[in-house]
């Protein structure tokens, strides 16, 4: 596959109105803002996009709106992972029909505990359902299922359109195992914003950065400065995000990110209940953090 995943990709927040319905206009305006701020890709329906909160029909509407808003300016990634193989294959097939989607991101099955051979069968079936490139998405704290590096290697060997993996394990040794023990064509992306620079230095391709919804220029600069060889400035940018990351731990992280975008004046609306955050303590912590970035 010729497609290369690179840079800082934003798992864009899905804008909702006050009734928790999809707000297409606000969503597309927010995507335009992110692209103009320098991010290198737009990812519709990642964890920060609340993929778990939407129906099959809503997911297609959201992805179509993202493609329309991006208008070819940066690559479009779309999340199609579901709990079962059957539903994941069905959604993958439908999303693959949307012209303008460049790559799919497929989270491992969640809620149900499965073994590594099950993951191989699952991803093999999904890869066979599309000609689009696929990123595996590893986030064991949320799914309960870790994609072992040997499993990632086997999947990539069997499925040529599996071109990379996003590692949100938060375990840098796990990321290193992906980089060091798989085919060189497998592009490894950081899923933890605190590990972007270190993943790049180890040979990774970039990151899917939830924080880039709130600080797109800062997060994109980590990659841009690294590519320029300015490691000191890249490290300074990487370290600067720590204060915000600390606040994210005060609640559901992607809900805190959405609340932060709201407080910065972006019309992204609430998270779908029960994940919406109403906390004076978190709001104040976010406002205090914003002062550090002025």
User: What residue segments make up the domains of the chain, in order of their start?
Assistant: 7-229
Tokens of 37: 């701020």
Can you say whether the dihedral through the CA atoms of 82, 20, 40, 210 is positive or negative?
A: negative
CB atoms within 10 A of CB 128: 12
Whether 248 contacts 256, CB under 8 Å: yes
Tokens matching residue 157: 């060997």
Q: Are 271 and 277 in contact (CB under 8 A)?
A: yes
Smallest Cα–Cα separation from 186: which of 151, 159, 150, 162? 162
pLDDT of residue 272: 95
Cβ within 8 Å of residue 124, ≥6 positions away: 155, 158, 159
| Strand ranges for the chain from DSSP E | 7-11, 41-44, 76-79, 103-107, 134-138, 162-167, 187-190, 206-208
- Give pLDDT < 50 ranges for the chain: 1
Q: Any catalytic annotation for residue 166?
A: yes
Radius of gyration of the chain (CA): 18
Asked if 220 and 36 count as a contact pair (C-beta separation under 8 A), the reply is no
Alpha carbons 98 and 78: distance in angstroms, whole number: 10
Pick the CATH number of 7-229 from 3.60.150.10, 1.10.3720.10, 3.40.109.10, 3.20.20.70: 3.20.20.70
Assign 3-class secondary structure to 129-143: CCCCCEEEEECHHHH
For Cα atoms 169, 174, 176, give the angle at the middle one, nearest 5 degrees.
130
Distance CA 259, CA 79 (A): 22
Whole-angstrom distance, CA of residue 242 vs CA of residue 196: 12
Q: Can you tell me the distance from the alpha carbon of 190 to that of 92, in angstroms, rounded to the nearest whole number?
A: 23
What residues are paired with 1 via a beta bridge?
A: none
pLDDT attached to residue 237:
97
Q: What is the pLDDT of residue 293?
A: 82
Q: Which residue in 27, 77, 137, 223 is the catalytic one?
A: 137
Q: Could you report the per-residue pLDDT of 52-62, keeping only the tens digit for each? A: 999 999 999 99
- 293 as an active site residue: the answer is no
Query: In 3-state terms, what secondary structure has residue 182?
Result: coil
pLDDT at position 294 = 72
Give pLDDT, residue 246. 95
Out of 6, 27, 52, 166, the active site residue is 166
Give the CA dihedral 145, 273, 58, 72, nearest 10 degrees: -80
Nearest to 140 by CA among 89, 174, 105: 174
């Amino acid at each position: 596959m010729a497609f290369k995943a690179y840079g800082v990709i934003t798992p864009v927040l899905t804008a909702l109105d006050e009734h928790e319905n999809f707000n297409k206009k606000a969503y597309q305006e927010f995507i335009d803002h992110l692209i103009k701020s320098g991010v290198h890709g737009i990812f519709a329906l990642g964890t920060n996009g609340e993929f778990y909160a939407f129906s099959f029909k809503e997911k297609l509407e959201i992805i179509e709106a993202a493609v329309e808003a991006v208008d070819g300016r940066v690559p479009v990634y779309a999340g199609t992972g579901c709990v079962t193989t059957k539903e994941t294959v069905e959604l993958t097939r439908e999303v693959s029909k949307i012209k303008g989607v460049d790559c799919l991101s497929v989270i491992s099955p969640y809620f149900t505990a499965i073994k590594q051979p099950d993951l191989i069968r699952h991803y093999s079936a999904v890869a066979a359902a599309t000609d689009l490139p696929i990123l595996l998405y590893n986030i064991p704290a949320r799914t309960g299922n870790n994609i072992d590096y040997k499993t990632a290697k086997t999947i990539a060997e069997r499925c040529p359109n599996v071109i990379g993996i996003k590692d949100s394990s938060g375990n840098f040794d796990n990321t290193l195992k992906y980089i060091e023990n798989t085919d060189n064509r497998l592009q490894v992306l950081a899923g933890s914003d605190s590990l972007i620079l270190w993943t790049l230095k180890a040979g990774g391709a970039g990151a899917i950065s939830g924080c880039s919804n709130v600080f797109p220029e800062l997060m994109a600069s980590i990659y841009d400065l690294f590519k320029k060889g300015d490691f000191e400035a890249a490290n300074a940018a990487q370290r600067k995000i720590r204060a915000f990351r600390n606040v994210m731990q005060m609640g559901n992280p992607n809900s805190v990110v959405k609340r932060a975008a709201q407080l910065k004046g972006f019309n992204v609306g609430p998270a779908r209940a029960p994940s919406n955050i109403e906390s004076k303590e978190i709001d104040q912590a976010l406002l205090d953090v914003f002062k550090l970035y002025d």
